[in-house]
Amino acid sequence: DGGITQSPKYLFRKEGQNVTLSCEQNLNHDAMYWYRQDPGQGLRLIYYSQIVNDFQKGDIAEGYSVSREKKESFPLTVTSAQKNPTAFYLCASSNSGTETYEQYFGPGTRLTVT
C-alpha cells in the first residue's frame, strides 16, 4: 500500500528544545517537501528536495533544517531558533520525472511548543 507516513501525529515540546518530525514515502518519488499549515494562511513551503543529498529553502526556512540521505526519507528538524513553532506540519512528495508535479500528502504532524 503506497503512501506517505508522518510520525508522530501529535508532538509536544518545551520551548528551547529541538524536535525532529519524520516523513517516509514508499512511492519511489524523487521530490519531497515540507509545508507548514496555519489557520487562514494556507500551506507555506519550508524546504524541498528534488533529489537525494540536495535540498533548497522554501519561503519560510528560518529556524528549520532538513536532510535527505535516502530517497524515501526527508526528516524536518524544528530548532529552538524558530520563533513560532506551534503549527501543523505536512510532508509531501512528487515524481519530478513527470511534467505534472502532482503532490501527494502525508497525514501531518501537529506540533505544540509550550
Partner 1 sequence: AQSVSQHNHHVILSEAASLELGCNYSYGGTVNLFWYVQYPGQHLQLLLKYFSGDPLVKGIKGFEAEFIKSKFSFNLRKPSVQWSDTAEYFCAVIPYSSASKIIFGSGTRLSIRP
What is the nearest approach in angstroms of partner 1 to the Cβ of residue 29?
10
| Backbone phi, psi, residue 54, to 5° | -145, 140
Binding site for partner 1 (CB under 8 A): 31, 33, 35, 40-45, 48, 50, 58, 90, 92, 94, 96, 99-108
Between 1 and 15, whose beta carbon lies closer to partner 1?
1
**Least Å from the CB of residue 5 to partner 1:** 11
Tell the burial category of 25 from Cβ atoms under 10 Å away from its Cβ (0-12, 13-18, 19+): buried
Smallest gap from Cβ 80 to partner 1, in A, equals 27
For the chain, give the longest Cα–Cα distance: 42
Angle at 57 between CA 13 and CA 29, to 5 degrees: 90
Nearer to partner 1, 44 or 79 (CB): 44
